[in-house]
A and B are shown apart, each in its own frame.
Chain A
Amino acid sequence: MSAGAASGAAGADPADGPVARLTGLVAALRDHGFGIGTGETVDAGLALEAVGFADRERAREALAATLLHGERQRPVFDRVFDLYFPAKVTVPGAEAEEGAGAGSGDGGAAGLAGLRERVAEALAAGDTALLDRLAAEAVAGYGGYGSGPGTDGWSSYRTLSRLRPETLLARVRAARTAAGRAPDFTDRLLDDEIRRAVEDFRERVRTEARRRVADRQGRDRVARRAVAGTADRVDFLLAGREQLDELRRTVRPLARKLATRLAARRRRASRGEIDLRRTLRGSLSTGGVPVRPVMRRRRPGRPELVLLCDVSGSVAGFAQFTMVLVQALHDQFGRVRAFAFVNRVDEVTGLLARGAPDPAGLGERILAEASLTGWHGQSDYGTALDGFVERYADALGPRTVVLVLGDARTNRADPRPESLRLIAERARRVHWLNPEQPSLWGTGDSVAPLYAGLVDMRPCRDARQLGELIGRLLPV
């Protein structure tokens, strides 16, 4: 690691050879939780040797093939790769400016209009190589800030807020349709296509800004801080809207995987158990020798699941994700009922089940259509649990598994543990999934330790943990 950090500081370092870059890349990927062994690093080296450096995309694919184990790792890999094996971008004039320091950071208004025009043309033509060059030029011209060493840097945010590529839509559309052809069915797709191309260009700008910052501050540092982790490791409580959207797209594959796991467990559980009573009874006809063992017959019937979710602001993302996931798994259970609360509890099973659920709008629908708040808008676990026992006790039975989702922060209201105890007595099992890490339980207004004494409480901070918990905890 330390060797990598030293070599990352300057591009002209003699120790900055391909081997140092490769090991630096591997170390950065390991920091992002990739399990990469030494053998794979060696393979990666062999692969690079076989493919050569002449074509950067081939080098990228060669490293991806040897170092990655799944497609979900790819976005993180791509960003880290861009840092350790940056493209040689030569922009006329920009190199000199780069040498002069980031401080200038302003290409003038006339230059900006010209650049926007060229970006629009490149977007219309779909010329990716040119877009890369323009992204580099844009960051060089408009992304610099600060003046002294140590405080200056390059910012994609600054670049993009000056350049505003999203406002080029109309211009690109005009360029694409002015090619002199009759109106066509596919014209209606054009706006979305341009939006995707613009988003792609923004990503190019971000990559370029990261590369420049890495040149200045050292690759290892930037690779660790500025590259977001894979979606299933994003903390539920810290996830932004975009990350939650990305997470939602992983629901279906995750659900399918869990369903296979549950089905495998069910299969395994259904064989190999001997019914002792019936085996002995049968052995009477053979003089007490149990010739034919009788297997225990599996009781049909699947567990029923009750979800009790806190959907107040702080933990809403977590609750929504879990609800969508459980809904996708609905065929694994006899019945799924979902209840949401902030400080009043209401059943939301209907909202969840209706047709193909539109996961993106689920949160708004729940807040709009269910009555979840009473006198105030803060979460109150005691009142909600009380209300649940009072109004929906019929949902609980000897086959019911209850999952409570929430951070157990009751805003200083009475936690009413007796309600939770009643739920635990009535249901077959109760698991509480808490999106906070255990070290925070009991701090501030959290009553997690109190509840944890009554039911099984587990931390569940990201999608990966949630998948594991659901695969393990749920009975089959």
Chain B
Amino acid sequence: MANGFFGSVDEVAERLAATGYLASPAIATTVFLADRLGKPLLVEGPAGVGKTQLAKAVTEATGARLVRLQCYEGVDEARALYEWNHAKQLLRITAGRGESWDEARTDIFTEEFLLPRPLLTAIRSEEPTVLLVDETDKADVEVEGLLLEVLGDFQVTVPELGTITAARRPFTVLTSNASRELSEALRRRCLFLHIGFPEEELERRIVALKVPGLDAALAASVVRVVGALRAMDLRKVPSVAETVDWARTLLALGAERLDERVVRETLGVLLKHQDDIARASAKLDLDAV
């Protein structure tokens, strides 16, 4: 059942790192297990910590094909699973004038008139596939039921065609921002991974990797300031994406080290609310100039 993309936890970490994704031990272990046990991986965590990026990195590391289902409010079976191409079916019926009903019926419900959507595409795929179900929490509860069926056994039943079972299980990643509590049933079928903010040392390595031109000492200071901001009670704490943005900003400004002025002028890159900026400035003593 398992894909066998990876041989060991260390190999996961190495190959993900080769694509530019530095995985924490938790991430590497869980990805390895998802691959080994053939279970879908449910990834939760704050925005901007690299949930979607993880799926892309796995795709790149394994040379698989990425099939992505972006969930939104109102996404339905026709968008997620499959749809019949009605227009083409009508054309076929008009073209086959004088044909008996039985002939037409068996003909218009065939592969040719089926429009596979991401879930079906991933299941039918012969080559190694990574299925990314992005922002699962945005979808309605009905779609969750559909996902249960598909991810439980990796098979889909199309009434006219019969049951389609996955030739090889796609490596499945579901991401969620927890704006809605996903059902227990769905969670049960998945391995659970929470990606939080990285440890200081890992984040330094991420900054060094993404912004190679930045001085190591300055990068360390950047990570420490971001760590301090995360410990504050803010409306929106800066995420890894913001850390990297800030490092890029500092590099572009040519700052050699952090001081009050630089931090005050660039705090807007890290914090997106005015009252957060005010509170952080007070806590960091930026106004005491």
Contacts and interface: CB of A to CB of B under 8 A. Distances in A.
Given A193-B227, A260-B179, A356-B235, A185 B26 contact: no
A151 interface: no
Nearest to A467: B181
A263 B117 CA distance: 29
Contacts of A55: 9
Given A64-B192, A68-B192, A192-B231, A51 B32 contact: yes
A256 B26 CA distance: 27
Contacts of A196: 231
Interface stretch (B33-41, B104-112, B153-161): B33-41
B92 interface: no
A186 B180 contact: no
A370 to B, nearest CB: 24
Contacts of B235: 252, 356
Interface string B183-226: 01001100111101000000000000000000000000100110
Contacts of A91: none
A253 interface: yes
Interface stretch (B75-83, B120-128, B258-266): B258-266
Interface string B16-29: 00000000011001
Contacts of A356: 235, 275, 279
Contacts of B30: 61-62, 65
A35 B184 contact: yes
Contacts of A260: 179-180
B221 A69 contact: no
Interface in A31-47: 35, 37, 39-40, 43, 46-47
Given A74-B194, A260-B180, A65 B29 contact: yes
Contacts of B9: 51, 55, 58
A71 B179 CA distance: 14
Contacts of A66: 33, 191-192
Interface string B224-237: 11011001010100
B38 to A, nearest CB: 10
A189 B184 contact: no
B25 A58 contact: yes
A51 B33 contact: yes
Contacts of A70: 44, 187, 192, 194
Contact of A39 (B181, B188, B225, B259): B188
Contact of B194 (A39, A47, A71, A186): A71
A193 B179 contact: no
Interface string B267-287: 000000001000100001100
Classify the interface of chain B: helix, strand, loop or mixed: helix
A394 interface: no
Contacts, number: 99
Given A43-B39, A71-B194, A188-B285, A51 B188 contact: no
A50 B181 contact: no
A337 to B, nearest CB: 23
Nearest to A181: B217
Contacts of A74: 194
Given A185-B259, A257-B180, A65 B284 contact: no
Contacts of A57: 25
A189 B29 contact: no
B90 interface: no
A193 B225 CA distance: 10
Given A46-B37, A71-B44, A257-B181, A185 B257 contact: yes
B29 A61 contact: yes
A50 B37 contact: yes
A184 interface: yes
B82 to A, nearest CB: 26
Interface string A372-388: 00000000000000000
Contacts of A51: 9, 29, 32-33
A186 B221 contact: yes
Nearest to A57: B25
B178 interface: yes
Nearest to A46: B37
Interface in A253-277: 253, 256-257, 260-261
A333 to B, nearest CB: 20
Q: Which of A65, A68, A193, A360 has the most CB of B within 10 A?
A: A65
Contact of B33 (A47, A184, A257): A47
A14 interface: no
Interface in B42-84: 44-45
Given A58-B25, A260-B180, A65 B224 contact: no
A257 B257 contact: no
Contacts of B196: 71
A293 B174 CA distance: 41
Interface string B83-113: 0000000000000000000000000000000
A252 B32 CA distance: 33
Given A64-B192, A184-B221, A193 B33 contact: no
Given A47-B33, A51-B32, A71-B44, A253 B191 contact: no
Contacts of A188: 284-285
A189 B193 CA distance: 30
A114 interface: no
B262 to A, nearest CB: 8
Interface in A168-203: 184-186, 188-189, 192-193, 196
A355 interface: yes
Contacts of A360: 233
B37 A43 contact: yes
Contact of A61 (B26, B178, B225): B26
Contact of B224 (A39, A40, A71, A189): A189
B257 A184 contact: yes
B258 A185 contact: yes
Given A65-B192, A185-B260, A249-B233, 7 more contacts: A64-B26, A69-B187, A71-B44, A184-B221, A189-B225, A192-B231, A257-B181
22 contacts: A50-B32, A50-B37, A61-B26, A62-B30, A62-B33, A64-B26, A65-B191, A66-B192, A70-B187, A70-B194, A71-B44, A71-B196, A184-B221, A184-B258, A185-B221, A186-B224, A189-B224, A189-B228, A252-B235, A356-B275, A356-B279, A360-B233
Closest 4 CB pairs of A and B: A185-B258, A61-B29, A69-B187, A71-B194
